[in-house]
Chains A and B, each alone.
Chain A
């Protein structure tokens, strides 16, 4: 049962749409040193659109995970369109954030990280980030963030009004041979969907460099025996 017009910002319909906008923001501006999280939805409204979908208009604030929810917040506005089609199709997002280019640059850390791992000898390989106790080494943190950004491509694509995705953990990261001066990483990630409470496993191949940002080249849903639950869509 969906309401049209103004939405209560703290209720889930607005929040789910805002999360979709966040995934979109991270695919464009996320990096090994930057992941954005939702701080608060200020205003939201929704309406059915002619072509048979539902469009949300949102006014919200985001913070960089690095600085925590108490850190400086960026104000954003977004239109999120959930198409209503027979088979699921990805939501469409238009997003604008104030002062996006004024946030503290992470160029130095990105370059150092890139230089360290682009060498042909580099063969990073790790599992369980974080571990059961929430621990993660400092060395693994940029990989964790990269995985989160790459996973945002999947979460964005798979989202609907009935999902609310987060990345639960990185099951594994395996560095592949660099290509075209891009770091190539194969990730297996576990995503958590709130409404269904399901844990969904995806394998993906991503590339990154400071210039080109994150790109996702391949994704593959992985059934987890014996539950083998398909992704919510």
Chain B
């Protein structure tokens, strides 16, 4: 019974339209076969829309029926007239459902461990920050949290560091630089858990971690992310006001010092691709720039976006091919092939400027020019059907297939030190 209620509550929560206000559940006790026959006749009255949780079978077995509000009077009259005994088990089904919903929401918001965390749902900023803290607490030898800076609104920019030793070269992954691309932050939390699960279990990942540190910034644009939850689901940029303009925000993926100001970004603060007043004007970007420069030994850099199912490498700001174009292309092909092997998801790959569009001031153009050879950008699912509003049941499949591509890139980095 409880199970059915939970299922119904889930359906109500998801579809949101049906209400069970005033509905009741009656437990009926028939005293003989004649009464059972009457109850069977009652069950055939389709217009009453009765929902029998326990059908009338035999007088020794109770009959439970969920009665919609509009039929209550008729059903009670029928039972009364035929002197059939009954009790009211549930006075108002909707009240019970509301209680259950509150309980479920409470439970979901505070998982007790990262094993409890619901990876198949989208989470808000505080839930992800709790996840980060829990992951560190559960895996102190492997995982630590570094705060590399603050957002415009002073939110911490949290980076998870996975490390098994000192002075190692590193691999960087970021998700959520564009806040509306929700499948990316969601995949980031999955990647974090995957790393701790697979360390010392998967030989390839273990070998990588025994030689390289992995840095993972899950919510790269926390102000934007909070805004997508509170006000505008389609928000992309940072939330820094622009002096002299009523439009807010800078596109953090046009704000890097690589071809800054060129074609493929906008000088208009109202544009979604506004580059900002100068390179690194956004604290979210500056924090990463400072980190990368002071680390000095990052060997791979992956920045994750959605949507359109692509794996891209530099350049976006110029048609001149990158020096390592051939190798990057070949590795991209391998990575895309491993990705596709899982669910047959098709990706395109190539340089940014050829495959997607000209874009100046982009992340991986800068990281590549810093000497981080294996610089890649992903565009995750899908290709436009749901776009940014990817249903939650696709989070885990997306993360799983993307992980295969990431492993291909990390493995190649490990095998080709430079």
A interacts with B: yes
Do residues B388 and A192 form an inter-chain contact, with CB atoms below 8 A? yes
A30 to chain B, nearest CB (A): 13
A199 to B236: give the CA distance in the assembly, Å.
10
A128 to chain B, nearest CB (A): 9
A197 to B247: give the CA distance in the assembly, Å.
16
Q: Which residue of A lies closest to B233 (CB)?
A: A132
A1 to B353: give the CA distance in the assembly, Å.
11
A155 to B16: give the CA distance in the assembly, Å.
31
Does A104 interact with chain B (Cβ within 8 Å)? Answer: no
CB-CB under 8 A from A228, the residues of chain B are 270
Q: Which of B16, B356, B389 contacts A169 (CB 8 A)?
A: B389
Q: Contacts A12-B356, A195-B357, A226-B246 given; indicate if A166 touches B389 (C-beta within 8 A).
A: no
* Residue picked from B122, B233, B251, most chain A C-beta under 10 Å: B233
CB-CB under 8 A from A135, the residues of chain B are 14, 391-392
Do residues A37 and B383 form an inter-chain contact, with CB atoms below 8 A? yes
B115 to chain A, nearest CB (A): 23
Do residues A137 and B16 form an inter-chain contact, with CB atoms below 8 A? yes
| Interface residue tally for chain A (C-beta within 8 Å) | 37
Residue-by-residue, is B118-130 near A (CB-CB < 8 Å gives 1, otherwise 0)?
0001100000000
Do residues B383 and A194 form an inter-chain contact, with CB atoms below 8 A? no
Q: Which of A38, A39, A168 contacts B234 (CB 8 A)?
A: A168
Residue-by-residue, is A184-200 near B (CB-CB < 8 Å gives 1, otherwise 0)?
00000010101111110
Do residues B389 and A65 form an inter-chain contact, with CB atoms below 8 A? no
Do residues B346 and A229 form an inter-chain contact, with CB atoms below 8 A? no
Does B407 interact with chain A (Cβ within 8 Å)? Answer: no
Summed over the interface, the residue pairs from A and B with CB atoms below 8 Å come to a total of: 94
A134 to chain B, nearest CB (A): 3
A12 to B316: give the CA distance in the assembly, Å.
13
CB-CB under 8 A from B228, the residues of chain A are 132
Do residues A166 and B357 form an inter-chain contact, with CB atoms below 8 A? no
CB-CB under 8 A from B384, the residues of chain A are 37, 166-167
Q: Contacts A132-B233, A198-B271 given; indicate if A10 touches B389 (C-beta within 8 A).
A: no
Do residues B273 and A197 form an inter-chain contact, with CB atoms below 8 A? yes
CB-CB under 8 A from B308, the residues of chain A are 194
Residues on B facing A (Cβ under 8 Å): 14-17, 121-122, 228-229, 233-234, 236, 246-247, 251, 266, 270-273, 308, 319, 344-346, 348-350, 354-357, 383-392, 394
Going nearest first, the 10 A-B pairs with the smallest beta carbon separation are A134-B391, A166-B384, A197-B272, A10-B348, A137-B15, A134-B389, A226-B246, A132-B233, A195-B357, A11-B354
